[in-house]
Amino acid sequence: MKVQIDHTLCEGHAKCMDRVPEIFEVRDDDRSYVLLETIPTHLEEDVRRAAAVCPRAAISCVDDD
């Protein structure tokens, strides 16, 4: 699974980073960045939950084929 963040939507609330700091990092520009290109299997469910609670719906999960 891969994750993308729409920086035109993200407002840096950091709910994603609070949930999965291994994957999301909110930087000084108040935008969240994805730290790993491919999400480790054991973190996929946490990342999906983070996407679900993002108040801006800025996180997209893309399943590998």
Residue whose CB is less far from ligand SF4, 32 or 39: 32
Q: With contacts defined by CB under 6 A, how many residues of the chain interact with ligand SF4?
A: 16
- 3 state SS of 46: helix
First to last CA, the chain: 9
User: Would you give the DSSP letter of residue 65?
Assistant: -
Do the Cβ atoms of 39 and 3 come closer than 8 Å? yes
Stretch 6-45: interaction string toward ligand SF4, x if CB under 6 A: ----xxxxxxx-------x-x-----x-------------
Contact set with ligand SF4 (CB under 6 A): 5, 10-16, 24, 26, 32, 54-56, 58-59
